[in-house]
Chains A and B, each alone.
Chain A
Amino acid sequence: MQSKIIQVTGLAFTIAYAVFIVWLYATEPRTFKEVAISAEVAAGTYQVNQEKFNSALDLFRQEQFRAARDEWQRADPAQGDARTQFYIAYSFYREGWGRLYYDQQLFKQGLEAVNRAIALASTSPLTVDDPNLDMHSAAELKAELEQGTERSWSDVNPLKVLRTRK
């Protein structure tokens, strides 16, 4: 009987250990800190650092987009919060937007961020109620970023200089 208990306990422990190893190889954390963050994400207890998020939002409103992104990345190191990823994408959009041309590199990075945001909020459409933004949904932002990365004859239309940034 005792040997049976040892067998069952040993099997359970080693299977749990094996699952942990598979999870480590799947998530590929680079530091012990990332291991802890990944574990929080897996356990569903992950939260963004609200203080850093707010300071990033202040920077964003002052049009300091790179600094804002940097703060948001520190607030959400696991890239697991849809709202933060939406704002990061928005900062790429605003920084990359130009009256004469769009910065393709920044728009592509923005597209990646907004896709992350959409994937994270897959249960319901992501909307952000921020009066300082002209686009409130991730879908709108994605469409705008996609249009910016596409090339068409309308790009040479001189009236395009009259367009406004959202």
Chain B
Amino acid sequence: MTANNRSRNRALVANVVLPMLFLTVVLLGGLRVAAENRAFIFVAPPLVALLLAVLLMLLLVRGRLIRFHKWVGNELPPLTNVVHIWMLITLFFASAQAFNSVLPERGLLHWL
């Protein structure tokens, strides 16, 4: 029973909580609030943030924090592959938006 609960909770974390968390980072990473009228300003990730996110993903794979072959592969069921690819996509955009939230909005990094 405990093992059953454990696997169910793991599935919930992997398939619901983590993507939701990443998507919340996507939502909030580009959100600014104007000082004068407290209006929302949505800033889409600039090209440099996307490039940094690509580099971060490569680093995660190279550092074996993400074991890509265990996440996506021939031997896994198609649905699991789809879910894992979706998770990687959300992780990628969360990374991009995390960079977007900390990078200055003008300057050297925006020459691209």
Chain A contact residues, CB within 8 Å of chain B? 2-4, 6-11, 13-15, 17-18, 21, 24-25, 28-31
Contact = CB atoms under 8 A, between A and B. Distances in A.
Interface stretch (B9-17, B51-59, B67-75): B9-17
A31 B39 contact: yes
Contacts of B16: 6, 9-10, 13-14
Interface residues of B, number: 23
A21 B80 contact: no
A7 to B, nearest CB: 5
Identify whether the interface residues of B are mostly helix, strand, loop, or mixed.
helix
B44 A25 contact: yes
The majority secondary structure among interface residues of chain A is helix
Contact of B82 (A2, A11, A31): A11
B40 interface: yes
Contacts of B41: 28, 30
Contacts of B80: 7
A13 B42 contact: no
A7 B15 contact: yes
